[in-house]
Amino acid sequence: MKKNEKITYKKAGVNIDEGERFVDLIKPMVRKTFRPGVMTDIGSFGAFFKLDVSKYKNPVLVSGTDGVGTKLKIAFMADRHDTVGTDLVAMCVNDILTSGAEPLFFLDYFASGKLKPEKASDVVKGITDGCIEAGCALVGGETAEMPGFYDKGEYDLSGFAVGVVEKDRIIDGSKIKDGDSVIGIASNGVHSNGYSLVRKVLFDAHHFSINKRFPELGVSLGEELLRPTHIYVRAVLSLLKKIQVKGMAHITGGGLPGNLPRIFHGNLGAVIFENSWPAEPVFDLIMRLGSVPLDDMRRTFNMGIGYVLVVNETDTDRVLSLLGKSGYEAYLIGVMSKKIKGIKYAKI
């Protein structure tokens, strides 16, 4: 740098003009997510949402926040950025859905070392796709450009969802009893957890290319690992109008053993039926190539089940049928038992 040369914010690495161009690029996408209740457009200091209290007797707001984790590393490797935003929405709305809450609105945080508006708008497209699928509005967010903080071409994401549920309809697992059925809804592959192990096995240990294809997958590693997390909102909210659901769990990091017991009360556990749902090839591949112990696999990945419902045994067939009509594969994967604590796997 020359002596006495003027230093501007742009020379420091932050381009305000590019930030404004990014906002212009995403405005049409974001507005497509708006639903009744949204009171402010993009660009306000705060987002206003008016809850229609005439629809509720005693509404309770439910909030959740999450990120995408090191799955972003796969997006960087593949240079594909239009799916991780959907993962971001899914991780938040599926969490608040477990209480029976309908997602109302969503906010995101996008941070990078140098803002690339086209790449960032691809990320936002994934977010808006997820919001539309979940029926919630993208009401705002934050875009941060932080030179020197992130490696070149990399960024980070986090999200925040708010939903609503009637107080007397909150689902907290307190009504679960011995003999109730455990219903598992299929995942869409790895979803958004366990990617540190995925990368360790496939890219650190074996040095596979992101474009490597395995016959059992039918697609490249990049395509397989970037499958967006399923959003279960519409199917589950529709189901709640017809069936008494006693407990729900979003199967994320920790797998079934780490997430399902979070909804148990009293001296109850769950017997999970081994091989009661189809094995997804990607998990078998990771386990085989990394010689990963089965217990480690179960405590790291969803293993093909992304969401779980606990219902009366007599409602089992109807629940499976309704979920199937909603477009989701679902299976009877276990039964609640007062004879055990936590989770026990059993062959059937």
The packing angle between helices 117-134 and 16-31, to 10°, is 20
pLDDT at 108: 97
The pTM assigned to this predicted structure is: 0.95
- All domains in the chain, ordered by first residue: 16-169 (3.30.1330.10), 181-347 (3.90.650.10)
pLDDT at 10: 80
- Give the tens place of pLDDT for each residue, 264-297: 988 899 999 999 999 899 999 999 999 999 999 9
Mean pLDDT of 154-170: 98
pLDDT at 3: 64
- Give the tens place of pLDDT for each residue, 14-64: 888 888 888 888 899 999 999 999 999 888 889 999 999 899 999 999 999
pLDDT surpassing 80 at residue 2: no
pLDDT surpassing 90 at residue 319: yes
